[in-house]
Each structure stands twice: as structure tokens, then as C-alpha cells.
Amino acid sequence: MEPAAAGAVEPWSPEPDGTPPGQPEAGSRSDHPEVSYVLRVNGVDRPVAGAWIGESLLYVLRERLGLAGAKDGCAQGECGACSVQVDGRLVAACLVPAATAAGSEIRTVEGLGADGAPSDVQRALAATPVQCGFCLPGIAMTVHDLLEGNHAPTELETRQALCGNLCRCTGYRGVLDAVRTVVDERAAAAARAAAEAERDGGPGSRIPHQAGPPAGGTL
Ligand code: FES
Ligand code: FES
């Protein structure tokens, strides 16, 4: 084979023993302690046995637990494609050693919906025109995280929340519109629920009307 030109990127190939790049070689495992632990992912305990202690949460989710929703875009915390929540906090799974997440509640994009149906955020994002869609799982995690702490973000707040998610082929207009759609739908649903509770004699309707002070005097 011709040697690669200076600066050229060599095609990926496994190590001679089949070990993927970035993983300890089979012969050096004694230098890289293996551990077993349990990750709680989307409400389910998932045992991980005999894992190299340095494996990232992203690697373990994808390669050991079969949860491929979080994407491996850069493996260095810059693209947001691997975003997950750990104990309610949005993190780049590629930067978190998986063993340190044992005992935490991990939520991935697979856990955003309920009863097999996608969440409202996922539906809204799926309705936007996209090209490759590689960034969308990470964006869905970010939008959920945003709306959990801010029920009605401004466009600027949404843009700021998305600043860690790189989309290199479609752009962000559709995502911003999707967030607006979700916010409006949730507000409309809440208003409908309040109106129905009022009509059905809910707690709000039982609060007696308090008369105001008479004209020209106080009660
Ligand atoms: S793969 Fe983790 S931030 Fe890019
Ligand atoms: S749609 Fe391709 S990276 Fe966002």
C-alpha cells in the first residue's frame, strides 16, 4: 500500500487484535483495570460487566447497552450530538467516564417519550425539514432540558441553550420554530385543562367570589 501523503487522513482500521481505536489493546488490559457496575438508564437498571474503567458513558450506552440514540460526533465535547441527562443535568456523554455515572439517573433520547410514543418535542423536531438529522437526538435532549427549567423561553434563550449543539447541514431555524410550536401547544393545553376544571366545578370554581369594597368606603 502506498504510504499516506503528509497531512492525509488514514482510513480507519482496527488494531491487529480487532480492538477499536481509543480502546485498550487486549494485551494491555492489566494496565487498564476493568470494572463492573450498574447504570440506571431511563428508569431501568442496566448491568455493565468487565468494562475498561476509562470507557466513556457514550461508548457504554452505544456499544455495551445498545442505546444508539446518543451520537458520536466528535468524541471531545464540542458537537452536542451525544447529549444526555445525568441526574437531570445535561452533559456530553463522550466526556463522562461511564463508571462515574453508576448510581445516577441517566436519561437518553430513548427515554424522552412515553408508552412507545415520541415526546411533543420529538414530534415537533421530526416535522421540521432536515437533511441528515444526525444532530437531532442531541438537540431533542437540549430542548427537553431547556423546557424543564424554562416553560416559555425567548428565541434568544433558545439560541443560547442550543449553542452547544452543532448542526452542520440544516441550520437552526426549524429547531427554533419547533420549540415555539411546543411552547404554544403546551400553553394551549394548560389553558384548556384549566377551563375544563373550572367548568367541571374544580377547585378553582369553588373559591367564593369576594366582593370588592363599596363605593366610597371600606369594609
Ligand atoms: S460526541 Fe460528545 S460532544 Fe460531540
Ligand atoms: S441535520 Fe445534519 S447535522 Fe443537523
ipTM of the complex: 0.99
Say yes or no: 122 and 74 in one domain.
no
**Secondary structure (DSSP) of the chain:** -PPPPTTPPPPP---TTSPPTTS--GGGGGGS-EEEEEEEETTEEEEEEEEETT-BHHHIIIIIS----S--S-SSSSS-TTEEEETTEEEEGGGSBGGGGTTSEEE-GGGSSBTTBPPHHHHHHHTS--SS-TTHHHHHHHHHHHHHH-SS--HHHHHHHGGG---SSS-SHHHHHHHHHHHHHHHHHHHHHHHHHHHTT-GGGGSPPPPPPPTTS--
Q: Which of 110, 131, 160 is the last residue of a domain?
A: 110
Given a cut of 60, whether residue 33 has pLDDT beyond it is: yes
Q: How many structural domains does the chain have? A: 2
Distances (CA, A) of 11 to 7, 17, 19, 199: 13, 17, 15, 67
For CA atoms 24, 27, 30, 34, the dihedral sign is: positive
80 alpha carbon, closest ligand: 1
pLDDT classification of 200: cutoffs 50, 70, 90: confident
- 162 in Cβ contact with 212 (< 8 Å): no
Say yes or no: 53 and 120 in one domain.
no
Alpha carbon distance 12, 46 (integer Å): 30
Q: How far away, in angstroms, is 39 Cα from ligand 2 center? A: 29
Q: Which of 110, 132, 152 is the last residue of a domain?
A: 110
Percentage of residues of the chain with pLDDT beyond 70: 78
Say yes or no: 104 and 183 in one domain.
no
Tens digit of each residue's pLDDT (9 = 90 or more) over 162-185: 999 999 999 999 999 999 999 999
Q: Would you say residue 1 lies in a domain?
A: no
Say yes or no: 122 and 183 in one domain.
yes
| CATH of residue 76 | 3.10.20.30
Q: Would you say residue 23 lies in a domain?
A: no
- The side-by-side arrangement of strands in the sheet containing 44-52 is 44-52, 34-41, 105-107, 83-86, 89-92
Q: Using a 6 Å CB cutoff, which residues line ligand 2?
A: 130-135, 167-170
Q: Would you say residue 219 lies in a domain?
A: no
Tens digit of each residue's pLDDT (9 = 90 or more) over 45-100: 999 999 999 999 999 999 999 999 999 999 999 999 999 999 999 999 999 999 99
Say yes or no: 93 and 123 in one domain.
no
Can you tell me which atom of ligand 2 is nearest the CA of 139?
Answer: 4
Q: C-alpha angle with apex 147: 141 to 152, nearest 5 degrees?
A: 145
Q: Would you say residue 215 lies in a domain?
A: no
129 alpha carbon, closest ligand: 2
Say yes or no: 84 and 53 in one domain.
yes
Q: Would you say residue 177 lies in a domain?
A: yes
pLDDT classification of 186: cutoffs 50, 70, 90: very high
Q: Which of 110, 138, 164 is the last residue of a domain?
A: 110
Can you tell me which atom of ligand 2 is nearest the CA of 169?
Answer: 2
Nearest CA to ligand 1 atom 3: 77
Say yes or no: 187 and 126 in one domain.
yes
Nearest CA to ligand 2 atom 2: 132
Long-range contacts of 142-145 (CB under 8 A, 24+ apart): 142/80, 142/83, 142/90, 143/175, 143/178, 143/179, 143/182, 144/85, 144/112, 144/119, 145/83, 145/85, 145/90
Q: How far away, in angstroms, is 70 Cα from ligand 2 center? A: 14
> For residue 22, what pLDDT is reported?
43
Please compute, for residue 190, the number of CA atoms within 13 A of its CA located in the half-sphere on the CB side. Answer: 8
Q: How far away, in angstroms, is 213 Cα from ligand 1 center? A: 62
Say yes or no: 101 and 117 in one domain.
no
Say yes or no: 152 and 186 in one domain.
yes
Domain that holds residue 162: 112-200
| CATH of residue 165 | 1.10.150.120
Q: Would you say residue 123 lies in a domain?
A: yes
Q: How far away, in angstroms, is 17 Cα from ligand 1 center? A: 27
Q: Would you say residue 4 lies in a domain?
A: no
Say yes or no: 154 and 76 in one domain.
no
Can you tell me which atom of ligand 1 is nearest the CA of 93?
Answer: 2
Q: How far away, in angstroms, is 50 Cα from ligand 2 center? A: 35
130 alpha carbon, closest ligand: 2
Which of 57, 76, 166 best tests ligand 1's pocket when mutated (most atoms within 8 Å of CB)?
A: 76
Q: Would you say residue 22 lies in a domain?
A: no
Say yes or no: 35 and 100 in one domain.
yes
Given a cut of 60, whether residue 8 has pLDDT beyond it is: no
Say yes or no: 77 and 105 in one domain.
yes
